[in-house]
């Protein structure tokens, strides 16, 4: 390293360690000191945050001041980074009289002005660091006069309209005389040149070792002339729209250690010789869906320790030679087109910390990871792995924090040793073929587990009591298994952080115990599709301050709704209808573009079929869904006071008596489903007058008389009225009574199937109901019309996010298509 570089770096190192700079060769010369003091007096900075300027003291030798380095009494390096300087730049002229300066660092300040052209006066300047200093606008041509520059850092991590620009002069003009430059950092600067201009400008800087131009709005192509930069060690061009292939010639950059081209809209085939650069340590070409390629035979003694190909179109198998990458620490091949079995030699990757192979079609069994002692994250989800998961594979992995094996075909028992991994926070085994009983967990109270997802397996029998001793548990997802038995435990007292609990689609029976109410943080509780019977504990319906989502649908509960209502004035939300979106709100999994079928499932109401109907449903703000239970007796009058209701679904119950005329109160009602009950009498004309009603289903009841004429309900299709023996008049063209009823089968709720995960249904979610109705939170629906998806992506995410702030939206690339996934992130 050259002396000048040392001079440049040393003060920074020392300052970083809080040690006063002691690099003095000779005492500070008087006029240098007075210039520095003048500079300090001109600058406007926050004294409480300053660590350098604030300590400059006239009575000391200025060469000993923080941020100052001298040579023979002359100030040669000035580091005023992170000094919260926010003004006085117009008087920075003093700085430019410090003629001996070789190094200036003004990084991380808040100048909010243009870069002063006077920098040209610092003819000896070798190192200039103005990164994140708040400089704005066009970079002045005068910077290009600094012909001795070795390191130039003008980066900004925040790109904004007001950031730096390099347009006129353009990059070619800026760089033309930088013959000595070794490090160029221009991240976040708007560099608008067309075509090969920027690569040609750079290719003459033959001493360049570090080139970093991320987020520069560069356009392509990535030109082969860059291969002339033979000294290049670090090349970062990520997040530019290069829209081109990666030139094969870059494989001749034999000193390259870091190549970062992620998010560059690259296309074409990624040449294998790039993997073979023996000095290469970091290769990140992720997030380039158009980039193809397959993995090479990795050379022995490869240096790669971070390889990220996620969200690309790389394909083919993972070759046995992977074990040659002895340093490999992070391997991310997620969301590609890889297939085949994993080589057992992967077990020899002892330095692995992060392994993500998710969203590919890898098959076969998994290798043992028990030699990768540093392993922290293991994501193998959404592949076709199969076979058992031997407990020895994970033996002794004390650093392992997350295992995601979801959506594969693993079978056999869930090894209880997994619960012994002391750092494990996330254990996600959803949608596999695990079966058998779940053993009690050893030392459950010492476990770090926060998320446990075993949904969509064939697990049987009662759930281990120790599950409710997992003290840190935030999410417990056991839906769609064959668990049975009762839940009588004192759940709440041991799992205080439990936030999301779903036991739906199992065979649990017995009462819904009041101890569910003791889970103080509970936000979502889904007990639907079980055999719970008896009364809904009142305390649950009163738990409105925290609980956002309660689903008790499709059980054998026999409460009268009105009882619940009259005794629980604070009721804020109720039941949601199956199939619940919440089913898999977690670690996975919904996508846009849900099929028509699922729409029919959720709102099997009138097929008025127009797009208008959909919109109406989408913008509904409150909804109540009691469908598919065994509620009986008259429709509770209390419902008719819920005047803000936009959607009401009471279908598939045993409600009897008349349709109350007070439905006329529900002036906002857009969707009403009373189908498949035992309602009798006429259709009240008040119902017919609800002007927003766009979706209505009264089918399969015992309604009689003429459908009110001259009203808009006649515009509904006949399907809305069929299955009522005594009903007549348009739109009914014939007597539908009699035939329908026996034939009718209740809507079949599509069960989740990992292979059909491209058609998971969006459904009603929650609602904030009650007598206070401040603002209701909806509810979203599957969207199958493209037009609505636009609306949807803009609004539904927000709405969802309000309901469950822990949701996290990510995009994945699967089979060449972009999907949106919702993840539940408890932090
Ligand atoms: C900058 O200089 C002008 C005159 O040149 C003076 O009026 C002003 O006070 C100075 N600003 C600071 C912060 O010293
Ligand atoms: C400067 O240093 C002297 C002696 O070290 C000390 O007495 C004085 O208080 C200091 N002044 C300031 C402004 O810190
Ligand atoms: C510029 O200074 C900042 C803050 O001290 C530092 O983080 C950054 O690495 C420096 N840039 C170079 C090229 O040394
Ligand atoms: C660059 O160097 C050439 C030749 O030395 C000189 O003519 C030109 O003015 C210089 N340009 C800049 C911007 O310094
Ligand atoms: C980015 O480049 C495009 C042309 O490639 C240009 O239209 C756009 O204004 C540039 N953006 C900024 C912020 O300079
Ligand atoms: C490549 O790196 C080695 C060792 O770091 C160095 O000796 C050599 O000069 C470099 N090659 C080029 C072309 O810069
Ligand atoms: C990617 O590049 C192609 C041209 O190869 C262009 O049509 C497309 O718009 C680019 N995509 C993005 C997201 O900029
Ligand atoms: C790989 O790249 C993707 C997208 O660029 C990023 O989200 C992911 O965190 C990276 N993986 C690792 C292990 O750093
Ligand atoms: C893995 O490492 C072990 C011990 O170092 C060695 O015996 C074995 O041959 C290696 N296996 C492979 C496939 O490299
Ligand atoms: C590591 O895993 C292999 C395969 O599961 C097993 O044979 C071996 O005993 C395990 N080693 C340890 C130390 O658990
Ligand atoms: C629970 O499931 C187990 C295993 O399938 C079965 O043997 C047992 O009879 C079931 N118990 C009840 C109460 O249904
Ligand atoms: C409905 O609201 C009215 C007026 O607010 C009130 O008098 C009546 O008791 C309510 N009905 C029921 C059943 O709560």
pLDDT digits (tens, 9 = 90+) for 23-52: 444 578 888 999 999 999 999 999 999 999
∠ CA 450-455-459, nearest 5°, is 110
- Report which of 511, 497, 618, 603 is spatially closest to residue 555, judged by C-alpha positions: 511
* Confidence category of residue 197, pLDDT binned at 50, 70, 90: very high
* Confidence category of residue 441, pLDDT binned at 50, 70, 90: confident
Of all protein residues, whose CA lies closest to atom 11 belonging to ligand 2? Answer: 57
What pLDDT digit, counting tens, does each position of 241-252 carry? 999 999 999 999
User: Domain check: are 693 and 783 in the same one?
Assistant: no
Residues having CB closer than 6 A to ligand 3 are: 81, 105, 107-108, 129, 131, 151, 153, 183, 185
Ligand at minimal distance from the CA of 306 is 8
User: Which neighbouring-strand residues pair with 362?
Assistant: 340
How would you write 554-607 as a 3-class SS string?
A: CCEECCCHHHHHHHCCCCCCCCCCCCCHHHHCCCCCCCCCCCHHHHHHHCCCCC
- Asked if the model's pLDDT at residue 624 lies above 70, the reply is no
- Report which of 377, 367, 476 is spatially closest to residue 423, judged by C-alpha positions: 377
- Report which of 319, 365, 370 is spatially closest to residue 349, judged by C-alpha positions: 370
Distance CA 485, CA 79 (A): 69
∠ CA 65-71-76, nearest 5°, is 70
Tokens of 343: 């080589």
Name the residue with tokens 């109401």.
Answer: 605
**401 found inside a domain:** no
Q: How many CA atoms lie within 13 A of 481 on its CB side?
A: 30
Gyration radius from the chain CA atoms: 34
User: Domain check: are 701 and 817 in the same one?
Assistant: no
**Which residues constitute the domain of residue 717?**
502-728
Mean pLDDT (whole number) for 438-449: 88
Quick one: pLDDT at residue 318? Answer: 95
Buried b (16+ CB within 10 A) or exposed e, 693-727: bbbbbbbbbbbeeebbeebebbebebbbbbbbeeb
Distance CA 389, CA 416 (A): 11
Asked if residue 142 has its Cβ within 6 Å of ligand 4, the reply is: no
For 793-814, give the DSSP string. Answer: HHHHHHHHHHH-TTEEEEEEEE
Distance CA 249, CA 591 (A): 40
User: Domain check: are 795 and 703 in the same one?
Assistant: no
Q: Compute the distance from residue 817 Cα to the ligand 12 centre, in Å.
A: 52
**375 found inside a domain:** no
What DSSP element (H or E) covers 817?
strand 817-824
Tokens of 31: 């006029």
Q: Which of 3-7, 205-209, 482-486, 766-770 has the lowest mean pLDDT?
A: 766-770
Cα dist. 529→40, 177, 303, 598, 755 in Å? Answer: 72, 74, 53, 18, 22
Name the residue with tokens 């890898």.
Answer: 362
User: Domain check: are 686 and 554 in the same one?
Assistant: yes
Quick one: pLDDT at residue 612? Answer: 21
Residues having CB closer than 6 A to ligand 9 are: 323, 345, 348
Q: Which of 120-134, 427-441, 541-555, 570-584 has the lowest mean pLDDT?
A: 570-584
Quick one: pLDDT at residue 192? Answer: 83
**785 found inside a domain:** yes
Distance CA 816, CA 52 (A): 53
pTM of the model: 0.73
Asked if residue 42 has its Cβ within 6 Å of ligand 4, the reply is: no
User: Domain check: are 702 and 816 in the same one?
Assistant: no
**650 found inside a domain:** yes
**711 found inside a domain:** yes
Q: Compute the distance from residue 489 Cα to the ligand 11 centre, in Å.
A: 18
User: Domain check: are 524 and 602 in the same one?
Assistant: yes
User: Domain check: are 615 and 558 in the same one?
Assistant: yes
325, 351 Cβ separation under 8 angstroms = no
What pLDDT digit, counting tens, does each position of 232-288 carry? 999 999 999 999 999 999 999 999 999 999 999 999 999 999 999 999 999 999 999
**771 found inside a domain:** yes
- Asked if the model's pLDDT at residue 548 lies above 80, the reply is no
For 61-88, give the DSSP string. Answer: -GGGSTTEEEETTEEEEEE-TTS-EEE-
Tokens of 319: 């070759």
Q: Compute the distance from residue 66 Cα to the ligand 2 centre, in Å.
A: 14
Asked if residue 310 has its Cβ within 6 Å of ligand 8, the reply is: yes
Name the residue with tokens 């300027």.
Answer: 53
Quick one: pLDDT at residue 608? Answer: 23
Tokens of 29: 């010369």
Quick one: pLDDT at residue 325? Answer: 95
Distance CA 210, CA 559 (A): 71
Tell me the angle at which helices 611-618 and 786-803 cross, rounded to the nearest 10 degrees: 10
User: Domain check: are 794 and 673 in the same one?
Assistant: no
CATH number reported for the structural domain that contains residue 618 in this entry = 3.80.10.10
Q: Compute the distance from residue 250 Cα to the ligand 11 centre, in Å.
A: 63
Average pLDDT, the chain: 77
User: Domain check: are 576 and 627 in the same one?
Assistant: yes
| Percent of the chain residues topping a pLDDT of 70 | 74
User: Domain check: are 652 and 779 in the same one?
Assistant: no
User: Domain check: are 807 and 718 in the same one?
Assistant: no
What pLDDT digit, counting tens, does each position of 51-96 carry? 999 999 888 888 999 999 999 889 999 999 999 998 877 777 889 9
292, 269 Cβ separation under 8 angstroms = yes
Of all protein residues, whose CA lies closest to atom 9 belonging to ligand 11? Answer: 461
Of residues 427 and 794, more confidence is placed in: 427
Q: What is the number of domains present in the chain?
A: 2
User: Domain check: are 601 and 719 in the same one?
Assistant: yes
**571 found inside a domain:** yes
For 308-377, give the DSSP string. Answer: E-TTEEEEE---GGGGG-TT--EEE--SSEEEEEPPGGGGG-TT--EEE--SSEEEEPPPP-TT-TT--E
Quick one: pLDDT at residue 709? Answer: 80
17, 9 Cβ separation under 8 angstroms = no
473, 498 Cβ separation under 8 angstroms = yes
**291 found inside a domain:** no
Mutate to test the pocket of ligand 2, among 40, 53, 57, 66 (most ligand atoms within 8 A of CB): 57
- Report which of 186, 192, 241, 189 is spatially closest to residue 208, judged by C-alpha positions: 186
């Amino acid at each position: 390293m050259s002396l000048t570089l040392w001079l440049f770096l040393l003060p920074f190192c020392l300052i970083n360690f809080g040690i006063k700079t002691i690099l003095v060769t000779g005492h500070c010369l008087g006029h240098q000191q007075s210039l520095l003091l003048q500079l300090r007096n001109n600058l406007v900075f926050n004294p409480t945050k300053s660590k350098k300027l604030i300590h400059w003291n006239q009575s000391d030798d200025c060469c000993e001041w923080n941020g100052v380095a001298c040579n023979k009494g002359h100030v040669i390096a000035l580091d005023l980074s992170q000094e919260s300087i926010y003004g006085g730049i117009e008087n920075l002229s003093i700085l430019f009289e410090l003629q001996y300066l070789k190094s200036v660092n003004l990084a991380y300040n808040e100048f909010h002005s243009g870069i002063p052209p006077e920098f040209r006066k610092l003819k000896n300047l070798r190192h200039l660091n103005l990164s994140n200093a708040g400089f704005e606008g066009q970079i002045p041509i005068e910077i290009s006069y600094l012909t001795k520059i070795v390191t130039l850092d003008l980066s900004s991590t925040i790109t904004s309209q007001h950031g730096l620009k390099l347009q006129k002069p353009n990059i070619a003009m800026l760089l033309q005389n930088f013959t000595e430059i070794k490090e160029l950092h221009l991240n976040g600067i708007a560099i608008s040149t067309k075509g090969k201009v920027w690569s040609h400008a750079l290719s003459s800087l033959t001493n360049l070792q570090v080139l970093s131009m991320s987020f520069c709005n560069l356009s392509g192509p990535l030109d082969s002339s860059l291969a002339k930069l033979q000294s290049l060690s670090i090349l970062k061009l990520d997040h530019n729209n290069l829209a081109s292939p990666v030139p094969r010639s870059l494989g001749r950059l034999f000193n390259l250690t870091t190549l970062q081209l992620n998010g560059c809209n690259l296309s074409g085939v990624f040449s294998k010789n790039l993997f073979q650069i023996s000095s290469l340590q970091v290769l990140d070409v992720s997030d380039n869906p158009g980039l193809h390629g397959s993995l090479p035979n990795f050379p022995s003694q490869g240096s790669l320790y971070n390889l990220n190909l996620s969200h690309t179109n790389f394909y083919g198998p993972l070759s046995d030679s992977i074990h040659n990458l002895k340093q490999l620490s992070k391997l991310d091949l997620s969301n590609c087109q890889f297939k085949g079995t994993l080589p057992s030699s992967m077990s020899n990757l002892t330095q692995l910390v992060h392994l993500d192979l998710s969203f590919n079609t890898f098959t076969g069994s998994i290798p043992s990871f028990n030699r990768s002692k540093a392993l922290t994250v293991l994501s193998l989800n959404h592949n076709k792995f199969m076979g058992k998961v031997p407990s020895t594979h994970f033996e002794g992995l004390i650093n392992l924090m997350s295992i995601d094996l979801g959506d594969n075909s693993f079978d056999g028992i869930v090894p209880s040793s997994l619960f012994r991994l002391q750092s494990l926070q996330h254990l996600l085994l959803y949608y596999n073929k695990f079966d058998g009983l779940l053993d009690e967990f050893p030392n459950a109270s010492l476990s770090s587990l926060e998320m446990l997802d075993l949904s969509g397996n064939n697990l049987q029998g009662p759930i281990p009591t120790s599950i409710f001793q997992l003290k840190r548990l935030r999410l417990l997802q056991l839906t769609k298994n064959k668990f049975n038995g009762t839940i009588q435990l004192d759940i709440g007292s041991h799992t205080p952080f439990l936030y999301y609990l779903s036991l739906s689609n199992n065979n649990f029976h017995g009462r819904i115990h009041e101890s569910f109410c003791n889970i103080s943080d509970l936000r979502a509780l889904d007990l639907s599709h079980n055999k719970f019977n008896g009364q809904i504990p009142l305390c649950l319906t009163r738990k409105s301050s925290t609980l956002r989502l309660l689903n008790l649908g499709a059980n054998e509960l026999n409460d009268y709704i009105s009882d619940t209502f009259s005794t629980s004035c604070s009721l804020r939300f109720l039941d949601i209808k199956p199939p619940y979106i919440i089913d898999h709100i977690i670690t996975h999994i919904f996508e846009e573009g849900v099929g028509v079928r699922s729409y029919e499932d959720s709102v099997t109401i009138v097929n008025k079929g127009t797009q208008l109907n959909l919109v109406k449903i989408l913008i509904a703000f409150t909804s109540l869904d009691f469908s598919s239970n065994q509620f009986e007796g008259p429709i509770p009058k209390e419902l008719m006071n819920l005047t803000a209701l936009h959607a009401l679904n009471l279908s598939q119950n045993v409600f009897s008596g008349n349709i109350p005329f007070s439905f006329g109160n529900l002036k906002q009602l857009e969707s009403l489903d009373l189908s498949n009950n035992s309602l009798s009498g006429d259709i009240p004309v008040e119902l017919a007058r609800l002007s927003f009603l766009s979706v209505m289903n009264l089918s399969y009841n015992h309604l009689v008389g003429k459908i009110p004429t001259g009203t808009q309900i006649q515009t509904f299709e006949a399907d809305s009225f069929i299955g009522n023996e005594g009903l007549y008049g348009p739109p009914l063209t014939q007597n539908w009574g009699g035939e329908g009823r026996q034939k009718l089968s209740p809507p079949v709720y599509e069960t989740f199937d990992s292979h059909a995960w491209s058609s998971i249904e969006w459904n009603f979610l929650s609602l904030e109901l009650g007598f206070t109705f401040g603002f209701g939170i909806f509810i979203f629906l599957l969207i199958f019309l493209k037009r609505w998806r636009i609306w949807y992506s803009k609004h539904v995410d927000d709405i969802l996010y309000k309901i469950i702030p822990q949701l996290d939206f990510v995009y994945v690339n699967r089979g060449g298509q972009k999907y949106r996934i919702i993840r539940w992130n408890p932090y």
